[in-house]
Amino acid sequence: MLPLILGLSGPRLTEGERAFFRDANPWGFILFARNVETPDQLRQLTSDLRDAVSRNALIFIDQEGGRVRRLRPPHWRDYPSARVLASNFASDRSVARRVSFLHHRLIADDLRDLGITANCAPVLDIPIKGANPIISDRAFGTSAKDVVDMAHTALAGLMAGGVSPVIKHIPGHGRALVDSHLALPKISNDLTDLSQTDFEPFKKLCDAPMAMTAHIVYEGVESDRPLTTSKKGITRIIRGEIGFEGLLMSDDLDMKALSGSLTDKTRRALAAGCDIALQCSGKLPDMVKVAKGASTLTGESLKRSVIAENCAEHITDFDRQRAEAEFDAILSDLAEVA
């Protein structure tokens, strides 16, 4: 089994993809809008992916709500952004926490119904004024306390529904002045200041089963290497300062913040301390290059992967109709106040 999460090209598994996944045996898969048509189609696709590797692999998706959601109407609810959920803080913090739980418990119910067992959520980044808008309304707030409050119940909602969560983008993407999909952000702030602000939500939720790295240079650690490929950064900040001991996955290796070939990017990310490398294009030649940069999933990384898988094994009782009614009532009250 290779320490990889890979995408695929379309709504159905091609014979070429099936053969490649059988031979490469990636640890997990990730789905995007290009893979989504209908509930029945997705159930077949997730079943086919697991058949290809002959095991119950985790299948990931980005379903935050707002701008970032791969499942949309008419087949699925139109979930709001984190900013909308967090606006409940103005009236009642307990209501804000409750709506975050319901939001993520409903999403988990959607995902499990389709065979999707991991969600790249919640976002723990704290956006600052003047930063690139890539985070903006995806954040639960502009203070560590607000983000932590909402994210705790988000994690609880996902795991109660049998979906393993991924906190992102560790150790914090909120100050980035450029979008790491397009360029390499650099943050020059003092690490002591960052520890008390940007890093704080990740410290408070360091027991999460999985985290996704930020493709950002933290100049106080290593001035010429993004954290995803920085052994010093991962060791000192993520495993040390933050104390995160769960499975660490890279953000997408296709993003322009990282330079070099896909094979080299994979090797550098894994050598730096990422347990799993994520590559999302769904293009078979790209996946072959990524596989060349990976070796067998073993050691502590394998142990962490098993824990992450186990977080998708247990589902608590859930009355969907009642949860939707409560969720809609809270959102309706919020709209009236606004």
- Give the residue numbers marked as catalytic: 181, 251
With 0-12 CB in 10 A as exposed, 13-18 as middle and 19+ as buried, what is 332? exposed
Query: Cα separation of 319 and 332, whole Å?
Result: 20
Query: Cα separation of 23 and 149, whole Å?
Result: 43
The pairing of strands 68-69 and 63-65 is antiparallel
Both tokens of residue 313? 């094994």
What residues contact 218, with CB distance under 8 A and at least 6 apart?
171, 187, 191, 194, 227, 233, 237
SS3 64: strand
Helices (H), 205-298: 231-233, 262-272, 284-292
Q: Which residue has the tokens 């608590």?
A: 316
Query: Cα separation of 197 and 145, whole Å?
Result: 10
The CA-based angle 221-227-228, given to 5 degrees, is 160
- What strand order describes the sheet that includes 2-6? 164-165, 118-119, 58-61, 26-31, 2-6, 276-279, 247-252, 210-213, 167-170
Query: Cα separation of 221 and 113, whole Å?
Result: 43
| Nearest of 207, 201, 128 to residue 168 by alpha carbon | 201
Both tokens of residue 175? 């100050």
Both tokens of residue 40? 């029945």
| Nearest of 118, 17, 121 to residue 59 by alpha carbon | 118
Query: Cα separation of 16 and 117, whole Å?
Result: 24
Helices 93-114 & 144-160 angle (0-180, nearest 10): 40
